[in-house]
Amino acid sequence: MEVDHEKIRQAVRMILEAVGEDPDREGLKETPARVSRMYEEVFSGIQEDPEEYFGTIFSEDHEELVLVKDIPFFSMCEHHLVPFFGKAHVGYIPKSGRVTGLSKLARAVEAVSRRPQLQERITYTVADSIMKTLQPHGVVVVVEAEHMCMTMRGVKKPGAKTVTSAVRGAFETDPAARAEVFSLIGIGK
């Protein structure tokens, strides 16, 4: 489904009126259309399935850690529709013959981020989509983010970082594997 631009434009116009603005003044005339185009972009992940990216499989023999760290992402808090953003770190231990393209890990993060979201859901959705499609020995996803809903309003705590993790397979059962990957990720450095 495409976004309904007409509906978004009407809604933004109504919000501007409701907060006491004049939606017909020069600076705001194009705003409903701009916001609509922006929403189409930042919510494009609603139409995407992260599992589709893991169709690219290389039959390599590598059966040790693969980690793509510091993947920047931007998402929209589903409670307030303001941004939260930060970095995601995605690692997995492939089974022989089931190695995916590195960019696909970042593409999955992007697809899942571009929706009204919770940080926890981004974290486990990426982990579970890799587990399901690549069936690796293990997966770890760590996400660190700053939430504008905690920064610019409400509790107003700029700089507070939320860290979430999802560990699956070997990273759950083997403390040494988990310790190694967490130290390589080096949260907050």
Contact residues: Zn ion, CB under 5 A: 77, 79-80, 149
Smallest CA-to-CA distance from 150 within 46, 87, 79 is with: 79
21-80: contacts with ligand GTP (CB under 6 A):
77, 79
Could you give the C-alpha distances from 54 to 12, 45, 68, 141, in angstroms and in order? 37, 16, 15, 16
Verify whether residue 62 is a known catalytic residue.
Answer: no
Verify whether residue 80 is a known catalytic residue.
Answer: yes
Nearer to ligand GTP, 132 or 153 (CB): 153
Check binding of 120 to ligand GTP (CB under 6 A).
yes
3-class DSSP assignment, residue 93: strand
Verify whether residue 147 is a known catalytic residue.
Answer: yes
Nearer to ligand GTP, 85 or 174 (CB): 85
d(CA 139, CA 50): 15
Check binding of 118 to ligand GTP (CB under 6 A).
yes
DSSP notation for 54-86: GG-EE-----S-EEEEEEEEEEEETTT--EEEE
Verify whether residue 149 is a known catalytic residue.
Answer: yes
For residue 38, the one-letter residue type is M
Check binding of 114 to ligand GTP (CB under 6 A).
no
163 binds, among ligand GTP, Zn ion, none (CB under 5 to 8 A by kind): none
Which residues form the interface with ligand GTP (CB under 6 A)? 77, 79, 118-120, 147, 149-150, 154-155
